[in-house]
Structure 1
Amino acid sequence: MITVENLTKTYGTQRAVDDVSFTCEPGTVTGFLGPNGAGKSTTMRMICGLTPPTTGRSAIDGVPYQRLGNPGRHVGVLLDASAQHAGRTGREVLALAAITMGLDTDRVSERLQRVGLNDAAAKRRVRAYSLGMRQRLGLAYALIGDPAVLILDEPANGLDPEGIHWMRGLLRDFADRGGTVLLSSHLLREVEVIADRLVVIGNGRILTQGAKEQLLGAAGTSVRTMDPAALDALLQRMGLTGTRSADGSVLVPSDPQTIGQAAAAAGVVLLELRPAGAGGLEEMFLRLTAGPQPEEVSR
């Protein structure tokens, strides 16, 4: 289990991570989502002991990462696919990892095969690897110690569709066998397929978290109209508060039938009326993280 309690990280006056708390339980994949600069990588680095938190704590099975004996046997980490020594072969990278962890190097070939790197690829220098091959090697490195926990930051970058499908199956199988996976990714549709739980972060703070089905099923109703003022007045009379998204639609915490009947009775013409959950994770993510449009940011 991964436990994160009130993690905060400040750099001068900038608060990169602000009071973040969540847990990742055995047998689950937790999708850790947020736009660029939201604080995902900083949070993961704090969990792995690479960045000291300003306040708060994190633990793996109740023990801070820095205090784990032979941590690679407990936690497999992939935060940067380019972090391997470029002058070593893929086989050498894994062999050195095995030796460092006190493991038999006989397992190296099996791990390479497991991530789809054949004998020819294993003999090549890492500098000659594509990004996708480096991701596969990084995942093999994370798995070399047979850990119970995986912490992966954008592991699908550089993978082709077949590779993404393969990784999805590998991580799902890992969790189904009792492992714990914390997965950061911008591939929202892939996360939606594989994740059991979701944690969404923005500007360093948790925006929402919980079981995937619960979060997506409780999204409410997406409404669009040519007369926003009339819709606002209708919602006010109904005692409801709508949240306007960046695309102009309004998210209403009610069911489509109730909203549709009330709009028809009030003469409010609707251009769109549907369960917000129909848009899945992508719509929920965009709604939660909606910010200034590009032209506003450049001003």
Structure 2
Amino acid sequence: MIEVEGLTKRYGDVTAVADVSFTCAPGTVTGFLGPNGAGKSTTMRMICGLTPPTEGSATVKGVPYRRIANPGRHVGVLLDAGAQHAGRTGRETLRLTAQILGVDPARADRMLEVVGLPAKAARRRVGGYSLGMRQRLGIAQALMGDPSVLILDEPANGLDPEGIYWMRTLLRDFAGRGGTVLLSSHLLREVEAVADRFVVIAGGRIAAQGAKEELLSRHGGTRVRGEDPGALGAALTGAGLAFRTAGDGAFLVDADAGAVGRAAARAGVVLLELRQADGGGLEELFLSLTAAAAPSAPAGATGKAEEAVR
């Protein structure tokens, strides 16, 4: 369980994160989404105790991250795959992690196998790894303590299509065993495929959050087609329902099917089609929520803000 309550981070007169609250429950994958500079990484660093909040609090498994004894045994974290020591081999990196966490060193080889790093790669120095290999090693490191919570910031960067599919399967299996996953990613289609819930942040504030089906269906609206399009359009207008033409004689209405059906019935319009519209998926939802949400930075503060919210 991850609980975030009113998290705020200010750097002088720049507010990087403002009053952010959400919960990630066991058995779920939560997609944490937002444009560059929205405050995602700052929020995740506050959750992990790396950046002190100006206001608010965050707990993992009921306590602040910094108060968890041997946190790697409970929470697997990957915030920057490039932070690994370039001079160590992949196997040395994981065996050192095992020593720090107090787990069986043999688990290092098991985790290398889980993340798909072969023996030859495990013997290479991390400085020679590709970004995708570093991501796999970082995930192996996050899993070394057999945690029940994963916090991952852009873990799919550098992965090829097969690696992205592997990542999706791994996270769904982890959640399926009761684990809690907080996942930040720019790969919206992959987040849509793996996540149960979305938290969308823009301009340092929550733009929307909720179950995947709820948010996507709310954004899609209702598709309706009537025997008399003119009469149907007049009925919708009379009911105060906003709509647009779909191009095949149907209308896309910004309302639920019940409201649309009642408007048509009151006007005596015969309907040929009434159903949830096929929205543009997570990508369209993301763009609509974040397009105008980011506030303007104070004069002279743009560079500082960009640096602060990474």
Give the TM-score, by structure 2 length: 0.80
- Deviation of 1:278 after TM superposition, in Å, equals 2.5
Partner of residue 157, structure 2: 157
**Pairing of 1:97-246 with structure 2 (within 5 A):** 97-221=97-221, 237-240=238-241
Which consecutive unaligned segments of at least 5 residues does structure 1 have?
224-232, 244-249, 266-272, 293-299
**Cα distance in 1, alignment partners of residues 42 and 277 from structure 2:** 31
Partner of residue 4, structure 1: 4
**Cα distance in 1, alignment partners of residues 237 and 204 from structure 2:** 32
Per-residue Cα deviation, 1:154-173 (whole angstroms, up to 9, x for no partner)? 00000000000000000100
**Cα distance in 1, alignment partners of residues 31 and 5 from structure 2:** 18
**Higher relative contact order (CA closer than 8 Å, sequence separation 6+):** 2
RMSD (CA atoms): 2.6
Call closer, same or farther: CA 1:166–1:220 in 2, change over 3 Å. Answer: closer
What secondary structure is seen at the aligned counterpart in 2 of 1:21?
strand
- Deviation of 1:217 after TM superposition, in Å, equals 1.5
Amino acid corresponding to residue 134 of structure 1 in structure 2: R
Amino acid corresponding to residue 124 of structure 2 in structure 1: R
**Cα distance in 1, alignment partners of residues 86 and 235 from structure 2:** 62
The answer as to whether partners of 1:216 and 1:277 remain within 8 angstroms in 2 is: no
**Cα distance in 2, alignment partners of residues 14 and 277 from structure 1:** 39
The answer as to whether partners of 1:220 and 1:255 remain within 8 angstroms in 2 is: no
1:84 aligns with 2:81: no
- Deviation of 1:253 after TM superposition, in Å, equals 3.0
Per-residue Cα deviation, 1:89-131 (whole angstroms, up to 9, x for no partner)? 0011111111011112111100000000011000000010000
Amino acid corresponding to residue 50 of structure 1 in structure 2: L
The answer as to whether partners of 1:152 and 1:182 remain within 8 angstroms in 2 is: yes
What secondary structure is seen at the aligned counterpart in 2 of 1:278?
coil
Partner of residue 269, structure 1: none
Partner of residue 285, structure 1: 286
**Cα distance in 1, alignment partners of residues 24 and 95 from structure 2:** 30
**Cα distance in 2, alignment partners of residues 18 and 54 from structure 1:** 10
Per-residue Cα deviation, 1:40-84 (whole angstroms, up to 9, x for no partner)? 100000000000000000001111000000000010000001010
**Cα distance in 1, alignment partners of residues 91 and 72 from structure 2:** 17
- Deviation of 1:180 after TM superposition, in Å, equals 0.4
Amino acid corresponding to residue 288 of structure 1 in structure 2: L
Partner of residue 228, structure 1: none
Which consecutive unaligned segments of at least 5 residues does structure 2 have?
224-233, 245-251, 268-273, 294-310
- Deviation of 1:144 after TM superposition, in Å, equals 0.2
Partner of residue 74, structure 1: 74
**Pairing of 1:243-254 with structure 2 (within 5 A):** 252-254=254-256
Amino acid corresponding to residue 131 of structure 1 in structure 2: L
Question: Sequence identity of aligned pairs in percent?
Answer: 68
Number of residue pairs aligned between Structure 1 and Structure 2: 269
What secondary structure is seen at the aligned counterpart in 1 of 2:208?
strand
Call closer, same or farther: CA 1:123–1:101 in 2, change over 3 Å. Answer: same
Partner of residue 13, structure 1: 13
Give the TM-score, by structure 1 length: 0.83
- Deviation of 1:238 after TM superposition, in Å, equals 3.1
Amino acid corresponding to residue 159 of structure 2 in structure 1: L
**Cα distance in 1, alignment partners of residues 236 and 201 from structure 2:** 29
What secondary structure is seen at the aligned counterpart in 2 of 1:172?
helix
Partner of residue 227, structure 1: none
**Cα distance in 1, alignment partners of residues 72 and 36 from structure 2:** 28
- Deviation of 1:275 after TM superposition, in Å, equals 5.1
